[in-house]
Amino acid sequence: MTGEIASDVILSVRDLRTWFQTRRLTAKAVDGVTFDLRRGATLAVVGESGSGKSVTSLSIMGLLSRPGRIAGGKILFRDRQEYIHDLAGFTQKEFRKIRGREIAMIFQEPMTSLNPLFTVGDQIGEMIALHEPVDRHAARKRALALLKQVEIPDAVSRLDDYPHQMSGGMRQRVMIAMALACNPLLLIADEPTTALDVTIQAQILDLLRRLQAELGMSILFITHNLGVVAEIAHDVVVMYGGRVVEQAPVNDLFSHQRHPYTRGLLACTPNAARDIDDDGERRALYSIPGSVPPITDLPLGCAFEPRCDLAIAPCRAAPPALVPAGPHGASRCIRSAEL
């Protein structure tokens, strides 16, 4: 045992700091991130590109590339035997024992993860054989069952297809099948629907919800789209500038945002009822002014201050703390009580 977490929590990230350091500068891509993921629940981590959400997921999986490193904090994970491990201190050898078996990950673009030279059946079978003592025939049989589980039509013939012979939606289903090959406790999904059209997005989200209900796994869902969050998440963490700026149960977050950045993200989400005026004309879509500042050049005070229409002088003086806001959440805004 390397730490204590609540009995209903499978993953507890505490004060995680992931830095990319060179001779000239240090980029604090993740700077003091803390959250808990409950057993059988989905936690969405939301933010624009550059907010630190994907680096957080890569830190959990042990997939950071140089010069990235975990500079501090803990990543406490509860395994099948109820032992709690601090993944922040794991070696690559230790990660290989749990990666794919206890924790699995699916990515935004499956073509970068699937090998174009091997059939999908062989690739799923290889994942199974890596963690379980099975022969080729048993691995192939299990691969077929997984393709059926993720609802790939005509799974028997698709087993011998190569990735380029499949559509983007089917390739993503293959990635989900590979991730589920060893029935992991935790699935990390990093922007898994971004590259898909809206209809296929909905199908993939429905599939993840069904599989979660059947298998009881927890999901850490990384996205920039709050519309997707409403469909799948139980709890939400909003990140900006490498830090958590708001966190709350999904219903609380959508009914009452306690940070101006969250409010801006929600305003950017297309909404048919809101985006049509009284004359039936489409209003221009809202966008948050400015852009995410470079991690190497964050403002002295609140990172969101240059883009915030509620900013006042104290916002520029020092970074605000993450404090309780509302009955169930927290916000990193000194004016959260006014929102």
pLDDT digits (tens, 9 = 90+) for 27-86: 999 999 999 999 999 999 999 999 999 999 999 999 998 899 999 999 999 999 999 999
Return the pLDDT at 1: 54
Q: Which residues pair with 104 in a beta bridge?
A: 187
Nearest to 31 by CA among 296, 311, 256: 296
**Stretch 87-116: mean pLDDT:** 90
Q: Which CATH superfamily is domain 9-102+184-338 in?
A: P-loop containing nucleotide triphosphate hydrolases (3.40.50.300)
Return the pLDDT at 271: 67
**Residue 110, preceding bond cis, omega within 30 degrees?**
no
Which of 152-166, 182-196, 243-257, 275-289 is least confident? Answer: 275-289
**Stretch 21-25: mean pLDDT:** 86
pLDDT tops 70 at residue 171: yes
164-169 long-range contacts, CB within 8 A, separation 24+: 164/116, 166/120, 168/110, 168/195, 168/196, 168/200, 169/196, 169/200, 169/203, 169/204
Confidence of residue 227 (pLDDT cuts 50, 70, 90): confident
Which of 89-93, 111-115, 209-213, 322-326 is least confident? Answer: 111-115
Return the pLDDT at 310: 95
pLDDT tops 90 at residue 102: yes
**Stretch 244-255: mean pLDDT:** 97
Confidence of residue 277 (pLDDT cuts 50, 70, 90): low
- Are the C-beta atoms of residues 220 and 213 closer than 8 Å to each other? no
Confidence of residue 133 (pLDDT cuts 50, 70, 90): confident
Torsion angle (degrees, nearest 10) of CA 313, 314, 317, 323 = -150
pTM given for the model: 0.93
**Stretch 326-331: mean pLDDT:** 92
Length of the chain (residues): 339
Place of tokens 């904090």: 73
User: How high does pLDDT run on average in the chain?
Assistant: 92
Listed in sequence order, the DSSP H helices in 3-91 are 53-61
**Stretch 3-11: mean pLDDT:** 91
Other CB atoms within 10 A of residue 223 CB: 23
pLDDT tops 90 at residue 107: no
Q: What angle do CA 328, 332, 338 make, to 5 degrees?
A: 75
**Stretch 220-234: mean pLDDT:** 93
Q: How far apart are CA 180 and CA 88, in angstroms?
A: 24
Every domain of the chain and the residues it spans = 9-102+184-338, 111-183
- Are the C-beta atoms of residues 328 and 252 closer than 8 Å to each other? yes
Return the pLDDT at 196: 83
